[in-house]
Amino acid sequence: MILSFSLLIIGLLLLVKGADWLVDGASVLAKKYNVSDLAIGLTIVAFGTSAPELVVNSVAASGGYPDIVFGNIIGSNNFNLFIILGIAGIITPLSVQSSSVWKEIPFSFLAAIILLLMVNNFFMGNTPNLDIIEGFGLLICFGAFLYYVFTQLKSEPKTEEIEAKSYTALKIWALILGGLAGLVLGGKLVVDNAVGIAESLGVSEKIIGLTIVAAGTSLPELATSVVASLKKNNDIAIGNIIGSNIFNIFLILGVSAIIKPLDFQLSFNTDLYILMGGTIFLFLAMFTGKRKSLDRWEAAILLVTYLVYTTYLVLKELGLTELNTG
């Protein structure tokens, strides 16, 4: 147990340092090549911070653990939206670009809607699941998202080129790749040891997926967005979360379903509804208080909502456990 906790702390340190390098490298890359921070956040940073989810889900899908697969992705998206944006928004109000308000946020809502329809047999099938054909459908949606992002790459050119010139291409990519390596390794250490501790306590696979695994694989997003927020780089902070949520559903669940068809527990629908509700709240928050900004009080609502719901899940799980063993 002491070894598990020690490795957990090492993983957290790797996540924080990896996030610092990734934000620095991605920001300079955006300035050096005249690409917007938002586009970098939606692609390079989002993909990098979603790497732990991809690794965990690929292993879980091939091993036949669909509850871990869905719990990880749905739980991670909720963690990203409610906890990470909540914390980042409390640190400093997050200004949001018009394209994020009218395009990226609705795109992430659309991703959740498509997933809800697929797993509940709106398109095909008799049992709640995500099959190979639907997996390819998610990948096609992911391709459409990438096409949109790349058409926007030059939409917000940067003028701060003096700082960027002091960085060679080798140094920039060393920061980015070193940051990604730290995030992936740190995420794996955190997840492996957290799951081991949780399983020793007899917690169900679904709850592990929705909480421990989801929070663990979202730690790169947390570290990256908090660091970006502290550095006043709102586009990286926002783009990272929205991009990661879209990546998680379209890319990672798409790949997972292609590896092996995934049975879906209808009880996960509640978590999907919460994800969609939180996304709608984020959209509406752009028109309350300071426009096109997630204010501190709005961020606090996101944070408290997640904490209350997670507490309810854990208490419900404990209640069921007591009922079954009583």
What is the per-residue pLDDT across 24-33, written as a single tens digit (0 to 9) for each? 787 787 777 7
Largest interatomic CA distance in the chain: 68
Q: Answer with the residue of higher pLDDT: 74 or 158.
A: 74
**Confidence (pLDDT) at 300:** 94
Euclidean distance between CA atoms 73 and 145, whole angstroms: 18
Q: What local confidence, expressed as pLDDT, does residue 211 receive?
A: 76
Query: Can you tell me the mean pLDDT for 141-154?
Result: 80
pLDDT surpasses 90 at 225: no
Sign of the dihedral defined by the CA atoms of residues 62, 71, 283, 306, in that order = negative
Q: What's the mean pLDDT in 229-247?
A: 81
Q: Of 82-86, 130-134, 319-323, where does mean pLDDT reach its minimum? A: 319-323
Predicted confidence at residue 64, as pLDDT, reads 83
Q: Does the structure show a pLDDT above 50 at 10?
A: yes
Query: In angstroms, rounded to a whole number, what is the distance separating the alpha carbons of residues 42 and 161?
Result: 21
pLDDT at 233 over 80: no
Q: Is the Cβ–Cβ distance between 186 and 19 less than 8 Å?
A: no
Q: Which residues are CB-neighbours of 284 under 8 A, at least 6 positions away?
A: none
φ, ψ at 265 (rounded to 5°): -80, 125
Q: Are 186 and 9 in contact (CB under 8 A)?
A: no
CA gap 153, 34 in Å, rounded: 9
> Which stretches of the chain are DSSP H helices?
2-32, 37-40, 46-62, 66-78, 85-91, 98-99, 105-119, 132-151, 162-165, 169-200, 205-207, 214-230, 234-246, 253-259, 268-285, 296-325
**pLDDT category, 125, cuts 50, 70, 90?**
low
Q: Which two tokens stand for residue 65?
A: 């653990």
Tokens of 182: 């730290």
- Residue 155: predicted pLDDT: 55
User: Quick one: pLDDT band at residue 113, thresholds 50, 70, 90?
Assistant: very high
3-class secondary structure, 269: helix
User: Average pLDDT of the chain?
Assistant: 80
Q: What confidence score (pLDDT) does residue 61 get?
A: 86
Query: Using CA atoms, how far apart are residues 148 and 139, in angstroms rounded to an integer?
Result: 14
Instruction: Return the SS3 of 293.
Output: strand
User: What pLDDT is stored for residue 112 in this prediction?
Assistant: 95
pLDDT of residue 273: 95
* Region 18-22 average pLDDT: 77
Section 195-224 average pLDDT: 73
The pLDDT of residue 110 is 95
Q: Would you list the DSSP string of 126-167?
A: SSSEE-HHHHHHHHHHHHHHHHHHHHTTTSS-----HHHHTS
Task: Identify which of 75, 93, 67 has the alpha carbon closest to the alpha carbon of residue 229.
Answer: 93
What is the pLDDT at residue 324? Answer: 46
Integer Cα distance of 39 and 30 in angstroms: 8
Q: CA torsion angle for 130, 198, 243, 44 (degrees, to 10)?
A: -110
Fold observed for domain 34-160+204-325: A middle domain of Talin 1 (1.20.1420)
pLDDT tens by residue, 300-325 = 999 999 999 888 887 876 665 444 44
Q: Where are the domains of the chain?
A: 34-160+204-325
- Phi, psi (rounded to 5 degrees) for 8: -60, -45
* Predicted local distance difference test score (pLDDT) of residue 161: 45
User: Do residues 76 and 271 touch, judged by C-beta distance below 8 A?
Assistant: no
Per-residue pLDDT at 289 exceeds 80: no
Q: Which of 68-82, 288-302, 311-325 has the highest mean pLDDT?
A: 68-82
- Averaged pLDDT for residues 46-67: 78
Q: Euclidean distance between the first and final Cα of the chain, in Å?
A: 28
Of 6-10, 153-157, 287-291, 314-318, the one with minimum mean pLDDT is 153-157
Q: Name the phi and psi angles at 94, rounded to 5.
A: -100, 110
